[in-house]
Amino acid sequence: MSASDRGKRWPEVERRAGNRRVSAARRTRERRSGLDRRNEAAWIPVPVEESDCSDDDLVAIARGAREHAQAHYSGFKVGAVLEAADGTLFPGCNIENATYGLTLCAERVALVKALSEGHTAFARIAVVADTADPTPPCGPCRQLLWEYCGDIAVVLGNLERPIARYGLGALLPLPFDRRLLK
């Protein structure tokens, strides 16, 4: 995937008779393998199975994960769900700590759960917060998602519905990765 392609929005999803069919571009889009996600050479095709889970469904699952958030200090609950390339879903919620610096974001909780269970290729992540505007992942989450997931789809939703969809490359246009450590 070229640098100019990373900032483009993801292809639209076809919907027919209530059934979701993903465009051919999504099914064949390149994904990073689990070998080394920290440089451009790591972009090799990884098959992504067509998901039965729509963006609406993904946001609903993230909304449910949000209910488990431990946001005693900020009161700002966030839920996320990371979809592996094989369709396995990993929900996560934010878990706060009194020092704030040790707080875990919902996106990182979902990512760590997936990685700890051996998953290494991912299709998309949904993030839900109780806001009118989209609430994208924070900088550290974008960095970790880039390193371990590549340019995945990021679905942003609120308590009612999905409200935006981006490629991670559009949210992190100049990523710091292994290429720069030479």
Q: What is the pLDDT of residues 65-118, one digit of tens each?
A: 999 999 999 999 999 999 999 999 999 999 999 998 999 999 999 999 999 999
- Give the residue among 171, 180, 164, 181 at the shortest CA–CA distance from 144: 171
pLDDT at residue 143, rounded to an integer: 96
Angstrom distance (rounded) from CA 12 to CA 9: 9
Q: Is the pLDDT of residue 37 over 80?
A: no
Q: Which amino acid, residue 153?
A: A
pLDDT at residue 179, rounded to an integer: 78
pLDDT at residue 80, rounded to an integer: 98
Q: Is the pLDDT of residue 1 over 60?
A: no
Q: How confident is the model at residue 13 (pLDDT cuts 50, 70, 90)?
A: very low
Domain boundaries, the chain: 3-171
Helices 106-116 & 139-149, crossing angle to 10 degrees? 20
- Give the residue numbers annotated as catalytic, written as ranges: 107
Q: How confident is the model at residue 180 (pLDDT cuts 50, 70, 90)?
A: confident
Angstrom distance (rounded) from CA 88 to CA 129: 22
pLDDT at residue 181, rounded to an integer: 85
pLDDT at residue 34, rounded to an integer: 47
pLDDT at residue 50, rounded to an integer: 67
Q: In this structure, which CATH number among 3.90.550.10, 3.40.140.10, 3.40.190.10, 1.10.1740.10 belongs to the domain 3-171?
A: 3.40.140.10
* pLDDT higher at 111 or 39: 111
Report the range of poorest mean pLDDT among 12-16, 55-59, 63-67, 111-115. 12-16
Number of Cβ within 10 Å of residue 92's Cβ equals 28
pLDDT at residue 3, rounded to an integer: 44
Q: Is the pLDDT of residue 26 over 70?
A: no
pLDDT at residue 40, rounded to an integer: 52
CA pseudo-torsion sign 23, 24, 30, 34: positive
Structure tokens at 76: 């700002």
What would you measure as the largest C-alpha separation in the chain, in angstroms? 52
